[in-house]
Structure 1
Amino acid sequence: MVNQQTDDNVLAVGDTLGAEEVAVYRWLALHGQLDLVRMAEETGVDETAVSSAVDYLVRIGLVQRGKEGDDRLWVVDPHLVAAVATAPVERAIAEQQTQLRVFRDQFAQLASDYKEGRHGVSTDLETIPGLTQVRAALNRAAEQCREDMVTVQPGGTRPPEVLQDALLRDSQMLARGVRMRTVYHHTARFNSPSQAYVATVSALGGEYRTAHQLVDRVIIFDREVAFMTNRNDRLGAVVVREPSVVHFLYELFEQVWSQAQPFSDAATDGLEAVAKDLDRTILRLLAAGLKDETIARRLGMSLRTTRKHIADMMQALGAESRFQAGVAVSARGLLNDDGEPDAAPTTAPA
């Protein structure tokens, strides 16, 4: 029993009735008089608890006593008591709804002014500053999405709180019949929160694949609007609505999707096999002359982890420089004519 009385000793919304109070109220409703011994016997509540329950029910207004010397008790309609208890809350809600309507009306006028000011200005490209605004725009686009959402999600890890927010949004879209496909970096297979998220949403109908190399983040809704990372503001986004550009980005996603692999737990695939596959990709990127920072970004790995892989591979090749590593790769025939690695020096998974 939570006893949070108001000044008038009326039941408040936060108060609850315990099993003892409920049993005593029912007995009084049927008999209408105070008989502690009989009440205790028939309700299974001891006399002390019965007396306390009666006092509490009287105090909150569910029971009324007779005049002095009258041991009769009258129960009060609980709907009336509830109406009194909820009245302050309903008034507060009504006030907040009024404030909300005023707020929305003001911003509706601002939106009208915004549209008027942008009349004749192309809306094919829009810049959204700040993470909070980007999330709001993504949520709005997700609510309006009807058929299809595709995402390229680089990086090996995503914070659990971000995945929790995405879970609600994605589950709502899937429930509406929206097809949802996402490509992660292979390194996401090592991230437990990502594994749990993918397993949950896959069961709802989401589709997930992974690839070693990915372009920057892009999200496309209904082949009509695309969100891209703002190069000058990594927390912001660029929204593209120009049909030809959105079509190009969508076709680019389809190519990445067709070459990606179904999302799977790295441990299930075998850590050694995954490590060898990763080393082959790093070897190809090294052969292309890419810098450590570029390789790390392409593979969705931290720069520190990428450099450790490169150092381990150079040690396995017996090379002290990238030039020597290139000579060793060529001498061992580790790259075929297409620049693809036939094999790679084995390193331990990081």
Structure 2
Amino acid sequence: MNQLCEEGSRLYAAALRAGRITRAEAEPAPCLMDFALLHPDPDDPDRLRPVPPALALAQRLNPLEREITERRQLATDIATAFEPFMSINGQSAQGGGSITVLEGGDRINTALNLATAQCHAEMLTVQPSDRVSERSVLRGLERDRPLIERGVRIRTLYQHTARYSPEKLAYAAELSDGKVEYRSIDELVERLIICDETVAFIPTRDDQQVALELRHPGLVRYLIKVFEFMWDRAVPLSAGGRYETAPDGITEIQHSIAKLLVEGHVDEAIARRLGMNVRTCRAHIAKLAQALGSGSRAQLGYLIAQSGILDRER
């Protein structure tokens, strides 16, 4: 099991606040025991105590760390085996670079692993929000840690919703040091990875099963400029929450939603662009409508435009 179920998350939080829960209360969420987040209370056999989050996280990451070490050695061996061919590829690409279509997750990950194994200066990544599993955490750790150990600078852009993701915050805390920076911004359209200003990867399908490997110098330079444009407007992940309420009663996230509503985007598109589920997006729209006194969706767009909230400095 790689995901903590929704009921398990709720009960674990309740157990942390109360210091314990009954065995009967824990029964609807067997994932709590699967994740070893509860242990018997020595003073009361009918109750369970929560394992501290820091300890639980360490217990989950330790086996990943061991696997990372093994895979790191495998990645090094593969990179060494392919090294003689890279100069040949470089010579053939000098006439204008190359664009390679990568189909399938395995081939995409193989190309990413090779590119990061050869990265020596800086890696730039744009990571729109999604559900984080142990598998994706493992892939991120096994790619990023060797880069950090080689002194490579890493800059990653998330959406503001990452500030409310314990997995992303734990991942950032695990890797953060002087050469690793994480920032967030309200909107990100698509994933992007750039290594050493020489190769970039972008997806071409929503299911992430087809990607382009770009080695054309002009395209890579253009994508770097796009990244720097977003980076300059982003906020350090360590700067705290970005959903504060402004004097007009509209939060930052509701401000972003209002802008997209006026542009004509539907709920599903807004949720996707802001990295949240549709239900959460609609809850924010309802609060926005309440704050502006709107009685209908059509009226809401008009009131947003008339309120001046889109004119305020952000």
Q: Which TM-score bucket, shorter chain as reference?
A: 0.5 to 0.7
**2:178 corresponds to 1:222:** no
Distance 2:95 2:266 in 1: 40
1:81-230 equivalent positions in 2, closer than 5 A? 124-203=98-177, 205-230=179-204
Q: Secondary structure, in 3 states, of the residue corresponding to 2:175? A: helix
**Distance in 2, Cα, partners of 1:294 & 1:311:** 17
- Report SS of the residue matched to 1:162: helix
Greater Rg, structure 1 or structure 2? Answer: 1
Q: Tell me by how many angstroms 1:167 deviates.
A: 1.4
Aligned equivalent of 2:17: none
CA distance in 2, matches of 1:218, 1:306: 24
Aligned mates of 2:134, 2:185 — CA distance in 1: 22
**Closer, same or farther: CA 194–219 of 1 in aligned 2, 3 Å:** same
1:234 and 2:208 matched: yes
| Partners of 1:122 and 1:330 in 2: CA distance | 47
Mind listing any 5+ residue stretches in structure 1 that lack a counterpart?
1-103, 344-350
Displacement after TM superposition at 1:256 (Å): 0.5
Counterpart contact for 1:152–1:183, Cα < 8 Å: yes
Cα deviation, residue 331, structure 1: 4.2
Helix, strand or coil: the match of 1:279?
helix
**C-alpha distance 188-119 of structure 1, shift in aligned 2 (>3 A):** closer
> Is the alpha carbon distance of 1:204 and 1:235 closer, same or farther for their aligned partners in structure 2, counting shifts above 3 Å?
farther
Cα drift, residue 223 of structure 1: 0.7
Contact 1:156 1:188 in 2 (8 A): no
Shift of 1:232: 6.8
CA distance in 1, matches of 2:269, 2:300: 18
Percent identity (aligned): 38
Match of 2:310, as an amino acid?
A: L
Whole-angstrom distance in 1 between the partners of 2:252 and 2:121: 35
Instruction: Return the TM-score normalized by structure 2.
Output: 0.64
Q: Which residue of 1 aligns with 2:293?
A: 318
Partner in structure 1 of residue 22 of structure 2: none
Q: Cα–Cα, structure 1 residues 245 and 160, in superposed 2: closer, same or farther, change >3 Å?
A: same
**Match in the other structure for 1:299:** 274
- Paired letter, 2:215: R
Separation in structure 2 between the aligned mates of residue 146 and residue 217 of structure 1, nearest angstrom: 21
Q: Which has the higher contact order (CA 8 A, sep 6+)?
A: 2
Give the secondary structure class of the aligned counterpart of 2:101: strand
With normalisation by structure 1, the TM-score equals 0.58
> Which runs of no fewer than 5 residues in structure 2 stay unpaired?
1-77
Match of 1:286 among 261, 266, 270: 261
For residue 335 of structure 1, report the CA deviation from its aligned partner. Answer: 3.3
**1:200/1:149 Cα in 2 relative to 1: closer, same or farther (>3 Å)?**
same
Q: How far apart are the structure 2 equivalents of 1:325 and 1:133?
A: 46
Match of 1:269 among 232, 237, 241: 241
Q: 1:331 to 1:202 in 2, by over 3 A?
A: same
Any idea what the Cα deviations from partners look like across 1:132-182, whole Å, max 9, x if unmatched?
A: 221111111110011110001111542232112211321111111111100
Residues matched between the structures, number = 227
